[in-house]
Structure 1
Amino acid sequence: MTTREIDRVAFAGQWRQWHADHEKRLADPHGFLAITSIRWLTETPERFEDAPGTWSAGRDGVTVVLDEGEELVVDGVVVHGRHEFGVIPERGGVFAGFGDAVAEVAKRGGHHILRPRHPDHALRTRFHGVPAYTPDPAWALPGRFLAYDTPRAVTVGAVAEGLQHVYQAPGEIEFEFGGRTHRLTAFNGHTPGSLFVLFTDRTSGVTTYPANRSLALDAPAPDGTVTLDFNRATNLPCAYTDFATCPLPPAENRLPFAVEAGEKLPYERS
């Protein structure tokens, strides 16, 4: 093998390990594939067949009233009767256990929601991985982070009709492809300094999920350099389940070329 061939083999091996870990998280007993419904809570108390209790939501947050014989486990504590979850921050959530299932109590786009998650849900039990393009180092593109003077609040749409999400954008990622310069609005990632971008491209709706894909980026180097490894572009939960509220990319993140890298349209949507 040449050095270049060895590098490609090592690159593919690292990608396979990353993707296996990603699929393992997807298949978690209480992951997104286990969601059986999404309930938009209001001030009117309601009962649902896939979670115990009578649920409502108001200015003070979400409340559940459990009948005799019903219980939830919240933060390791068994609760009976009336329980108030309090104010939940946007994109925050609390998981309450019952039997082998959990009830996710969350806030999305200013709305309180309940999403029961059952390990025996067919979408999860039939899950057998995510199709993806063959990893190729050529799709690990160098880029540069261009920070805004002040982070900007960016409002984007959602796969749930009428819903909007607001994200903090610290700047843009600039990169070259096909002889042209492209820029993507970047949002704050899950760890300090990290970033992520939502995007579509010419494969969207053809070989990849139409609405969006996501790419996580490590924190930029001191000189602003970053790597956009499109091999690690992933589907959001909405690619698998209709019980998701995923954000849509901002208009400027619609790439005018085909990103033939990363995850493809899930088998469940084919």
Structure 2
Amino acid sequence: MTDFLGAWQAWRDEREERLRAPHGWLAITAIHWLTGRAQRFDDVPGSWSGGEHGATVTLEPGESLTAGGRALPPGTHRLGPLDEVGLTLAFGDAVAQVADREGRTILRPRHPDSPTLRAYRSTPCFPPDPGWVVPARFEAYAEPVGDAVGEVVLDRDGVEHRLVAWGEDDDCLWILFRDATSGVTTYPANRQLLTEPPGPDGSVEIDFNRATNMPCAYTDFATCPLPPAANTLPFAVEAGEQVPLVVP
């Protein structure tokens, strides 16, 4: 039990540190959807436009952005092509992400003094409980369905439940889910889990104590996916993160 609690607390401390990072999700000040018309914004230098193939920024004298350690001089710069991760540009003590969202381009500045980060207090959690470390099995699809690679099957009080899973790096599984606590003590849209790689026989462990909020629980400037209807558990998962405490 001591090892379980110690490992959970270390994970929890690391999670809070990431949430409070000066350029993390809580530091976002806006999400600008770029169009073909050049626009200026209060929270990032330059005049910006964008389309399905990337972004264009024009910097005036006295304005600067740094990309990959290289300062962009005054003038017009083409950024792209872009993927979902995109590019990170630095300016002063802030950064801005330029990325693709299904053919549209977003510009998302992150400032260490953002109102959301200043207002953030903590993310409460249910008390860690080894009973919420649940054995399960992974059943891979013959072919991926969209980005989903299979289903994780678990038993609760003699009833089988299936959760659609997505593949992550190192063969880990990513799961989005809702349950009977959603909209009550936990964030209404969903929570997420990351498992270790399944064993050769498909065995996998789900630790609901490490269920975390998606970025959209912390900011309106995130674009988060929703879980499929099948990933709604009919029972209350009283483990993992609850609704964040943000005091305006």
Sort the TM-score into its range (normalised by shorter chain): over 0.9
TM superposition shift of 1:68: 1.1
Contact 2:120 2:247 in 1 (8 A): no
Please tell me the residue identity of whatever aligns with 2:78.
E
1:35 equivalent to 2:41? Answer no
1:145 equivalent to 2:146? Answer no
Q: Which runs of 5+ in 2 are unaligned?
A: none
Correspondence for 1:124: 117
CA distance in 1, matches of 2:104, 2:124: 33
TM superposition shift of 1:97: 0.3
* Equivalent pairs, count: 247
Give the 3-state SS of the residue equivalent to 2:10 in structure 1. Answer: helix
Correspondence for 2:82: 88
Partner of residue 184 from structure 1, selected from 150, 163, 180: 163
CA distance in 1, matches of 2:38, 2:157: 56
Partner of residue 228 from structure 1, selected from 190, 206, 226: 206
1:209 equivalent to 2:203? Answer no
TM superposition shift of 1:86: 1.0
What percentage of residue pairs aligned between the two structures are identical?
A: 52
Q: TM-score, normalised by structure 1?
A: 0.89
Correspondence for 2:176: 198
Contact 1:200 1:212 in 2 (8 A): yes
Give the 3-state SS of the residue equivalent to 1:182 in structure 2. Answer: strand
TM superposition shift of 1:10: 2.0
Please tell me the residue identity of whatever aligns with 1:84.
R
Go from structure 1 to structure 2 and tell me whether the alpha carbon gap of 1:121 and 1:213 turns closer, same or farther (over 3 Å shift). Answer: same
Partner of residue 174 from structure 1, selected from 153, 178, 181: 153
CA distance in 2, matches of 1:25, 1:105: 21
TM superposition shift of 1:27: 1.0
Please tell me the residue identity of whatever aligns with 2:154.
F
Correspondence for 1:268: 246
Q: What value does the CA root-mean-square deviation take over the aligned residues? A: 1.3
Give the 3-state SS of the residue equivalent to 2:120 in structure 1. Answer: coil
Give the 3-state SS of the residue equivalent to 2:109 in structure 1. Answer: strand
Correspondence for 1:17: 10
CA distance in 1, matches of 2:129, 2:6: 11
TM superposition shift of 1:268: 1.9
